[in-house]
Amino acid sequence: MPHDIVILGVFVADAAFRSDRLPVLGETKIATGFTLGPGGKGSNQAVAAAKAGGDVGFITRIGKDTFGQMGVQLWAAAGVSALVTQDPDHPTGAAGIFIEEGCGRNAILISPGAAGAITLADLAPHAAIIAGAKVAMTQLEQPVDVAHEFCRMARAGGAITILNPAPAAALPAGMLALCDFVTPNETEAEALTGIKVTDTNSATAAAKALLAQGVRQAAVITLGANGALLCDQGGTRHVPPIDAGRVVDTTGAGDAFNGGFACALAQGMELNAALDFATAVAAISVTRRGTAEAMPNRAEVMALLQR
């Protein structure tokens, strides 16, 4: 069955600890809170796009285990079509997440598990869906060669392609030229360009460097609490943040933004409106704990935008 949006990526279980600070090596520290829930950037983005109103197919690989079942239940509840291989040889992965109480900032260590064993063979059964999508999006938690081929298949079919280069990794030659949009955060933009992003000027320089590396339409650098910066052939624009309430957990904010962006583009919104929509999805997500579970539904996004 065709889908407007197709996403390739990782599902893992997020083990999230809250504390006033990270323990140092050799130290044991009592956390102020813990949750175990669904995560993985690709899955989070798929859930965000579907809850925002998109028709989403999600390609991944999970283990035959409890964590994998968490993913299956999540996608069913969110209305994501699971284009999933169940791997008998690898367990579903997990992420250890540290969330700083007070500001909600996070640090993440991820073991992709079965999704780290995704190969080109996982794409083949879904070739028609990838080529027929309006929007195709991926990240870099699964092997980069598979992300590269996914972008090639989607581009050949005429989809709008989005690469969220997270976590940062060396890209094969020519990969950015397959991407209509690239959406790094500050550290990922620095890794891809060598330009340290500290303010609007440096973000602009990094975004221009990404365009010079071949990105087809625009580089969108997400700037956390400062919104985002768009750079395309028409120039550079700052996308202001939206205040949706007290920030409690920024984990998955980038995924919320990307999922919202993919949804908006698939529904034919023009670029500025799509970026505002994406910003609203992210703004609501950071007022809630968790990642996939923090994604807002469409009514909530529209209410914030109309406020």
Binding site for ligand RIB (CB under 6 A): 12, 14, 39-41, 44, 95, 108, 110, 141, 251-252, 254-255, 291
Residue 144 phi, psi dihedral angles, 5° rounding = -65, -35
- Shortest Cβ 23–ligand RIB spacing (Å): 19
Nearer to ligand RIB, 151 or 295 (CB): 295
- Shortest Cβ 12–ligand RIB spacing (Å): 5
- Shortest Cβ 186–ligand RIB spacing (Å): 14
Nearer to ligand RIB, 9 or 227 (CB): 9
Whole-angstrom Cα distance, residue 227 to residue 279?
A: 7
- Shortest Cβ 141–ligand RIB spacing (Å): 6
Say how many Å lie between the first and final Cα of the chain, rounded. Answer: 37
Residues in Cβ contact with 235 at an 8 Å cutoff, skipping those fewer than 6 apart: none
Beta pairing class for 160-163 and 135-138: parallel
Whole-angstrom Cα distance, residue 306 to residue 146?
A: 39
Nearer to ligand RIB, 50 or 129 (CB): 50
Whole-angstrom Cα distance, residue 189 to residue 174?
A: 17
Q: Could you confirm whether 249 is annotated as catalytic?
A: no
Catalytic residue among 4, 122, 249, 255: 255
CA distances from residue 250 to 98, 100, 188, 225, 282 in whole angstroms, order as listed: 11, 10, 17, 9, 9
Nearer to ligand RIB, 98 or 181 (CB): 98
- Shortest Cβ 9–ligand RIB spacing (Å): 9
Whole-angstrom Cα distance, residue 273 to residue 99?
A: 31
Nearer to ligand RIB, 99 or 218 (CB): 99
Give catalytic residues, as residue numbers.
255
